């Protein structure tokens, strides 16, 4: 009897997983130069237009914000650290900046992670810069430290949604 209950539970869990994946709606944001696209699930990421970045997303609870921009120039590996530090200088000094190579889909990117003390709250930022056709692109995620850790799966999902338009 116990084996039948376990089997029934496993079968129902498998069916529920299949239904969840097939019902997930996917939308696509195409970059302004039409070189990159980001596939995202609108029930997890809400798209917002912004004047500072090409596009901005936030999670459904408005805890994590993702920013994407296409630059009309290249950011060299030598200038990565100073470029990232300059982005945050008006908010304070960043600390624990780590930059490393990471593979996202077919792109080898310069991935970064850092922390920022702002108004006595610890914020974490992470993201990547990629030099490709037409210049550089940057995608970054920011939130209070706890929100970054709790939402790692949807951050990875949105990061993995970027690809080159073929």
Question: Tens digit of pLDDT for each residue in 32-53?
Answer: 999 999 999 999 999 987 778 9
Tell me 78's DSSP state: G
Under 8 Å between Cβ of 125 and 116 = yes
Which pTM does this prediction carry?
0.81
Could you tell me if 127 and 141 are in contact, meaning their C-beta atoms sit under 8 angstroms apart?
Answer: yes
Q: How many residues does the chain have?
A: 166
For 24-151, where are the alpha helices, taking DSSP H only?
A: 80-88, 145-150
User: How does pLDDT run across 76-88, given as a tens digit for each residue?
Assistant: 999 999 999 999 8
Q: Which domains does the chain have, with CATH numbers?
A: 25-164 (3.40.1000.10)
> Cα(68)–Cα(47) distance, rounded to whole angstroms?
11
Residue ranges, the chain, pLDDT below 50:
1-20
């Amino acid at each position: 009897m116990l084996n039948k209950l376990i089997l029934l539970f496993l079968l129902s869990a498998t069916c529920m997983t299949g239904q969840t994946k097939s019902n997930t709606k996917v939308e696509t944001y195409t970059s302004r130069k039409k070189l990159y696209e980001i596939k995202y699930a609108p029930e997890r990421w809400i798209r917002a237009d912004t004047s500072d970045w090409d596009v901005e997303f936030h999670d459904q609870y408005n805890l994590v914000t993702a920013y994407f921009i296409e630059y009309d120039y290249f950011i060299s590996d030598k200038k990565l650290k100073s470029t990232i530090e300059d982005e945050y200088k008006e908010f304070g000094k960043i600390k624990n900046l780590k930059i490393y190579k990471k593979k996202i889909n077919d792109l080898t990117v310069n991935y970064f992670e850092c922390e920022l003390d702002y108004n006595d709250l610890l914020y974490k930022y992470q993201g990547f810069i990629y030099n490709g056709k037409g210049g550089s692109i940057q995608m970054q995620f920011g939130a209070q430290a706890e929100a970054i850790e709790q939402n790692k799966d949807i951050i990875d999902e949105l990061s993995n949604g970027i690809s080159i338009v073929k």
